[in-house]
Amino acid sequence: MKTLPAWIQALPMGGVFLVFFVMPLLLVGAVSFWPQNEYTLEPGFTLDNYVSLFQGCFGGGESGELCTTFKTYLSTLKFCGLVWLITLVIGFTLAYFVAFHVPSVGAQTVIFTVMTIPFWTSNVIRMISWIPLLGRNGWVNQTLQSLGLTNAPLDWLLYSDFAVVLAFVHLNTTFMMVPIFNSMMKIDRSLIEAADDAGATAWQTLWNVIVPLCRTGILIGSIFVITLVMGDFVTVGVMGGQQIASVGKTIQVQTSYLQFPLAAANAVVLLGVVLLIIVALNRLVDLRKEL
């Protein structure tokens, strides 16, 4: 039986990619140049949305402070960096334990199945579950006061940067762990034995053998975490008490007030920032070559 050419076999997936990915991006980019109207969306071309977005950001401010857009992006990048670092440490540690200290494939399967159980529920439900624990009258504050470690409830446990980072780590650690675990399972165990025979310590083997061979998984997990955190607005809104700024939250607010062109411009800028981060990560690891 004659096999169809590769380009014909790729047409169905290419069509799906075009309709559900490329066209929406092009539409958002087009809307970002439309004039802002309070009542209707009227096609046109203007740079006013981008000018409004960066107003006062390039030497226009009198007080010397950063403009609102830069502050919002710095806040988002702060969450992104903290969550990336924490999920990398936790995800790598868990992946290492499962890959090298759980010999049975069945046990590894059970562990991953248990880890996926929280994903059977909504992210919002999983975030709300922290509120009874971290609130002023929550279990954590009551326990700390009963043990005499604090004299009053700790307000920073909930509706704060700490709560936002905690929720992000809770939601995204699995996305970091799974690619790293997949890379670890592909490591030839004879390389680790050779390092041991050469007199390398456990830390030397980890740093010089395992980590370099896991860089593909680390890169993929980093892309997952960074893209999810940069565009998130639900977690910041729920765990931040609607009082912490992020780019995703700004876009959601602009959309709710029917400021679609301005929201689209913000989304285009956000996409550009995320792409720059991904390109920088790809400079460290050639993903296409590694895969």
Q: Which residue has the tokens 């809307």?
A: 31
CATH superfamily membership of 74-290: MetI-like (1.10.3720.10)
Q: What pLDDT shows up at residue 123?
A: 83
pLDDT tens for each residue of 94-122: 999 988 888 888 888 888 888 878 778 88
Phi-psi region of 61 (alpha: psi -120 to 50; beta: other; left: phi over 0): beta
Q: What pLDDT shows up at residue 291?
A: 56
Q: What pLDDT shows up at residue 102?
A: 85
Helix/strand/coil (H/E/C) assignment for every residue in the chain: CCCCCHHHHCHHHHHHHHHHHHHHHHHHHHHCCCCCCCCCCCCCCCCHHHHHHCCCCCCCCCCCCCCHHHHHHHHHHHHHHHHHHHHHHHHHHHHHHHHHHCCCHHHHHHHHHHHHHHHHCCHHHHHHCCHHHHCCCCHHHHHHHHCCCCCCCCHHHCCCHHHHHHHHHHHHHHHHHHHHHHHHHCCCHHHHHHHHHCCCCHHHHHHHHHHHHCHHHHHHHHHHHHHHHHHCCHHHHHHCCCCCCCHHHHHHHHHHCCCHHHHHHHHHHHHHHHHHHHHHHHHHCCHHHHC
Confidence of residue 26 (pLDDT cuts 50, 70, 90): very high
Q: What pLDDT shows up at residue 108?
A: 85
What span, in angstroms and rounded, lies between the C-alpha atoms of 44 and 36? 10
Asked whether the CA dihedral 229, 234, 240, 244 is positive or negative, the reply is positive
Q: What pLDDT shows up at residue 61?
A: 53
Q: What pLDDT shows up at residue 287?
A: 65
What span, in angstroms and rounded, lies between the C-alpha atoms of 223 and 274? 9
pLDDT tens for each residue of 40-56: 778 888 888 899 888 87
Q: How far is CA 273 from CA 12, 42, 43, 112, 123, in A?
A: 30, 28, 26, 33, 25
What span, in angstroms and rounded, lies between the C-alpha atoms of 189 and 248? 43
Question: Phi first, then psi: what are they for 59, rounded to 5°?
Answer: 85, 10
Is residue 165 a contact partner of residue 79, using CB atoms and an 8 Å limit? yes
Q: What pLDDT shows up at residue 6?
A: 79
Q: What pLDDT shows up at residue 122?
A: 82
How high does pLDDT run on average in the chain?
Answer: 87
Confidence of residue 59 (pLDDT cuts 50, 70, 90): low
For the chain, what's the residue count?
Answer: 291
What span, in angstroms and rounded, lies between the C-alpha atoms of 176 and 169? 10
Whether 1 has a pLDDT exceeding 70, the answer reads no
What span, in angstroms and rounded, lies between the C-alpha atoms of 219 and 61? 38
Q: What pLDDT shows up at residue 286?
A: 67
pLDDT tens for each residue of 151-208: 888 888 888 899 999 999 999 999 999 999 999 988 888 888 888 888 888 888 888 8
Whether 63 has a pLDDT exceeding 70, the answer reads no
What span, in angstroms and rounded, lies between the C-alpha atoms of 213 and 37? 53
Percent of the chain topping pLDDT 70 = 95
Is residue 20 a contact partner of residue 37, using CB atoms and an 8 Å limit? no
pLDDT tens for each residue of 248-271: 999 999 888 888 999 999 999 999
